[in-house]
Amino acid sequence: MSLLDNFAHGLIVVLAAFSHFILNLLIVVEGWLRALMKGAGLSIDVQTLIIIFILSMFLVGVLRLLGGRLRLTIALILILILAHTLAGIANGPLGGG
């Protein structure tokens, strides 16, 4: 393999590790939020709706209040978190456990 191939492979490995870390962090934060809401007596469907609502409101607030690259960066992060939450719905039933 050439030097460029080795560099590209190394870069992909680093990006994959970073993505894995971020997804695990999202799972931990979402689990923590769900545990708090379960302690308050909310069902799993209501928990999901609340998480989606909170993320959507933060996204609307970011889009209205901030500008430039900061708005773009935070909006992208919030969209990715929202997509992660919605992917949990698509992967199976919410009350499976």
Predicted local distance difference test score (pLDDT) of residue 80? 82
Predicted local distance difference test score (pLDDT) of residue 73? 85
pTM of the model: 0.66
Domain ranges of the chain: 3-91
Which of 39, 38, 52 is closest to 95 using CA atoms?
Answer: 38
List all residues 6 or more positions away from 78 whose beta carbon is below 8 Å from its beta carbon: 55, 58, 59, 62
Predicted local distance difference test score (pLDDT) of residue 97? 45
Lowest mean pLDDT among 8-12, 15-19, 31-35, 61-65: 61-65
By the 8 A CB rule, do 95 and 44 touch? Answer: yes
Measured CA to CA, the distance from residue 79 to residue 77 in angstroms comes to 5
